[in-house]
Amino acid sequence: MTGGPDGDLGSNEILQGQERIVGVVDKSGVLFDPEGIEKTQLEELARSRQTVSAFNGAISPKGYLVLVTDEKRTL
């Protein structure tokens, strides 16, 4: 999904959608987890209109969070 939990479209998709979200790209970075991103944590971000940089939920070993401020990050 493009557009993060801090915007109108992204937050509405998170709060109203029933699908399993595996990737979110917003102005702060990329959050990806092939096993699905923790829905309750995404909903908290959407309600408070925060970007994925504020995500503090669990990510599977195959997932990652890369922020625009990260440097020399190896996946």
Q: Where are the domains of the chain?
A: 8-67
Asked if 14 contacts 44 with a C-beta cutoff of 8 angstroms, the reply is no
pLDDT at 74: 83
pLDDT at 73: 84
3-state secondary structure of 21: coil
In a structure prediction context, what are the per-residue pLDDT tens digits for the chain, which is 75 residues long? 778 888 888 899 999 999 999 999 999 999 999 999 999 999 999 999 999 999 999 999 999 999 999 999 887
pLDDT at 67: 97
3-state secondary structure of 67: strand
What pTM value is reported for the model? Answer: 0.88
Element containing residue 13 per DSSP (H, E)? helix 8-16
- Give buried/exposed letters for 16-31 (b at 16+ CB in 10 A, else e): eeeeebeebbbebbbb
pLDDT at 20: 95
